[in-house]
Amino acid sequence: MSSNVSLSKAELVAAIGVTAGATAVGLLLLQHFSKGSGVKPKVNFDLQKDNPKVVHAFDIEDLGDKAVYCRCWRSKKFPYCDGAHAKHNQETGDNVGPLIMKRKEA
């Protein structure tokens, strides 16, 4: 009788493993084939989602000597860069970096 319990557990583990593997393969295939479908992934996951368009405008005179702006949309200080692109790049293989604006020295 104990062999039936062990067999049942083994079957359960196998079923979970097959299901997880099939799900992973399905997600990879979906990601691969959606690239050519014209559907583009979003970059803004959570910033100002109640606005139809996120726009920031700055006067050059107000920038000071240097300003560093986020381009990965992951910064906790958005629109300013906090270095979040480093983790984003490591996780995704992307190569995005900040926009750096400096006052030209005369």
Rounded CA-CA distance 2/8 in Å is: 10
Residue type at 36? G
Q: How many helices (H) and strands (E) does the chain have?
A: 2, 2
Q: In this structure, how many other beta carbons lie within 10 angstroms of the beta carbon of residue 85?
A: 20
Name the active-site residue from 42, 49, 53, 66: 53
Is residue 76 part of the annotated active site? The answer reads: no
Q: What separation, in Å, do the N-terminal and C-terminal C-alpha atoms of the chain show?
A: 88
Catalytic residues: 53
